[in-house]
Structure 1
Amino acid sequence: MTMPQADPNQPLIPMPELSLQALRQAVAAVAPSRLPEFFEDMQKAFVRAGDEGTVLPIRLFYRQWGVVVEIERHPETARRLHEAERALDSEDPEVRDQAIREAGDIVRAAHREVAGG
């Protein structure tokens, strides 16, 4: 007996709240190879917030990583984005232009979702 395949159009995890703990757990679940980048960005955001006396860098960090999670929790969307990123190295300018459009569409849609729209 075989197990049914997961639907690539269904999210792997629910969208987490935009908090440090929830985003860390989500990144660990959907993009574990990016955890070092997550922690580096977190450290930079908190240092910048302290230096500037504002929480804006922390809010931007949460938003940035919320977008990453929003993309990566949808396997088909993540696959399309990573394929577009690889196509940016193409010798063909039309392929690169299409890749830029595709990646931009995906990232903009993820930003809208994270913003609640």
Structure 2
Amino acid sequence: MSTQADHGHELVPRPEQTPDALRAALAVVAPGRLPEMQRTKDEAFAKVVAWQSLSPVRSWVLAWARDIEIARRPDLATRHARATGNLEHEDLGIAQEALRELATVLDEAVKAVRA
């Protein structure tokens, strides 16, 4: 597990960006998503063969590191859930603000895992 900036209470430390470490962290913060993780991992590895490129695996690692970053930090998880819940709000202004907030949360999570 790597060190990271303090963001308040975190459910688990930020995992290393390896499939095993990401899977172990996901098993704690969002165990219901483990089948999805395995399915997308299988898809990424199939693309590696078809495309003869490692970029699908790199993308898979980054996407799961981002999602785990959100799930392990209650501050981000709350903001993410609120924004996601308002994406289809009948008030267009609220829906647009939700989309902006969702983009902000995703960007913050990606920056954190790339640091």
* Percentage of matched positions with identical amino acids: 33
Displacement, 1:52?
A: 1.3
Q: What RMSD, in angstroms, separates the aligned Cα atoms of the two structures? A: 1.2
The higher radius of gyration belongs to 1
Which runs of 5 or more structure 2 residues have no equivalent in the other structure? 1-6
- Give the whole-Å Cα distance in 1 for the aligned partners of 2:17 and 2:94: 35
The residue that corresponds to 2:100 in the other structure is 101
Which residue identity does 1:20 align to in structure 2? P
Aligned length: 109
Misfit runs of 4+, over 6 Å? none
Determine the structure 2 residue equivalent to 1:32: 31
Q: Deviations over 1:31-67 (max 9, x none)?
A: 1111111111101000000111121111110000000
Could you tell me the TM-score, scaled by structure 2's length?
A: 0.90
- Residue 53 of structure 1 corresponds to 52
Instruction: Tell me which moved more, 31-40 or 16-25.
Output: 31-40
Q: Cα offset for 1:9? A: 3.1
The 2-side partners of 1:55 and 1:62 are apart by: 11
Instruction: State the partner residue of 1:89.
Output: 88
Aligned residue number for residue 62 of structure 1: 61
Deviation (angstroms), 1:75: 1.2
2:12 alignment counterpart: 13
TM-score when normalising by structure 1: 0.88
The alignment status of 1:74 with 2:73, answered yes or no, reads: yes
